[in-house]
Each structure stands twice: as C-alpha cells, then as structure tokens.
Amino acid sequence: MKIEKAEVGVIGTNFYVVTDEKTGLSFAVDTGADFTELEPLLKNKNIKYILLTHGHYDHILGTAAAKRSTGAQIVIGGKDAQCLFNETLSRAGLHFPGVQQPVRADIQVKDGDEITVGSIKIKVMETPGHTKGSVCYILPDEGVIFSGDTLFYRSIGRTDFPGSSYSDMENSLFKLRKLDGDYKVYPGHGMPTTLDFERKYNPYL
C-alpha cells in the first residue's frame, strides 16, 4: 500500500491518495481544495472512491471537480451529506461564498460499514464531535487510521462550531483509545502520529 499526501487549501488540509499496489486501485481522502492542487496526486490513478472525513469546506471544496475528473464515488458520513450542497452547513459560505460546487454523495456511510478498494479493507467509525457526521476510516490490516479533524498530533478538532459537541467528541475519542493495538494516524491537518503516542501524550485522549 502506498500513501501520498499533499497539504492543500488556505489552511493546509491534508489530502491523501492511497494506492493498493497489488491491484493498482486507489482512493482519495478529503478533496479539500481547488482541483489544480489535487490533480498532481490524482492524475494517472484509478480512483474508485473519494472518502470524506466530514463536511467542512476545507475538506470538500474540490470534491465535485475530483469526481468529474476521476469518476470516483463520493463517500461521506450520512449526517454530513448535506454539506456537499449547502455552503452554510459546510461553512464555505462564511469564508468563500459562491465558490463551493454542489455535488451529491454516492454513498452515505454509518458506523461499522466497510468499503473495499482492491485488497484494502476500510472500516468506518462514526466519530461525531467536530461535526455531527464526522467519521474515521480505519484500515485494520494495514494499521492505519485517517482521522480527519477528530484526532491530531497531541490535539483534537475544534468543538465550538455550529453542530459541534464536546461531549460527542469525548465519546468518539474513547472509541479510538479503546481500539486494539497501535495504528498510524493520518489526520486532517498537521503531522502524522500513532495511536499509542496519542494514548500517552494527548491530554484529550
């Protein structure tokens, strides 16, 4: 498995493309900027899915264009699905009014759902708190978590936005902490970390 990353957009969102080297199939995580920033990682890839960790603008702004270019299916937590076509819910209207291109989810996921890309199995964990529909994408066989804006290096996502909830975030972090074993954590912003490190040094986990 190969993971490629680029920091995109005005606040440095982590955009990932993951490729199953056994089959050549790929998926993207958080297409959050103008397509010109996403294209270098998307070109010449067979992208099957665009996985969105939540519906804030800095994670979805390039989704419509990425879908047009790749034909990939858009996947998002069901409780954030309306963010894809509502710039008030995505907060794009607050920062970049009129810029968001509306698009609809192909798949709305919930806790426990599984997606397969080639030989890679992806399990969905609902982790509300930052948004109502935040999810983490867990690759159990590879020991990888794409945590979006739920878990960062020694920090967590903000819970002071409309629709956010600190108590929900606490419950979500408890679920992550209780996962068996260690995982490499690829967050929505900032540097990667590991679940064991965060268990020891993250004051919120």
Q: What's the CA gap between 1 and 120, in Å, rounded?
A: 8
Q: What is the pLDDT of residue 166?
A: 98
| Digit-coded pLDDT (tens) for 100-144 | 999 999 999 999 999 999 999 999 999 999 999 999 999 999 999
Identify the DSSP state of 101: P
The Cβ of residue 158 has, within 10 Å, a number of other Cβ atoms equal to 13
Answer CATH for 2-201 from 3.90.1300.10, 3.60.15.10, 3.40.50.10470, 3.90.226.10: 3.60.15.10
Q: What is the pLDDT of residue 177?
A: 98
The per-residue pLDDT of the chain, averaged, comes to: 97
Q: What's the CA gap between 174 and 34, in Å, rounded?
A: 34
Residue 64, φ and ψ in degrees, nearest 5: -60, -45
Cα–Cα distance list, 30 to 52, 55, 155 (Å): 5, 9, 19
Q: What's the CA gap between 126 and 194, in Å, rounded?
A: 19
Asked if residues 125 and 138 have their Cβ atoms less than 8 Å apart, the reply is: yes
Q: What is the pLDDT of residue 35?
A: 95
Q: What is the pLDDT along the chain (205 residues), one digit of tens a residue?
A: 999 999 999 999 999 999 999 999 999 999 999 999 999 999 999 999 999 999 999 999 999 999 999 999 999 999 999 999 999 999 999 999 999 999 999 999 999 999 999 999 999 999 999 999 999 999 999 999 999 999 999 999 999 999 999 999 999 999 999 999 999 999 999 999 999 999 999 999 9
Nearest to 205 by CA among 160, 164, 180, 174: 174
End-to-end CA distance of the chain: 28
Q: What is the pLDDT of residue 15?
A: 98
- Residue 12, both tokens: 């440095």
Asked if residues 61 and 55 have their Cβ atoms less than 8 Å apart, the reply is: no
Which helix (H) or strand (E) covers residue 39, if one does? helix 35-42
Q: What is the pLDDT of residue 106?
A: 98
Asked if residues 161 and 131 have their Cβ atoms less than 8 Å apart, the reply is: yes
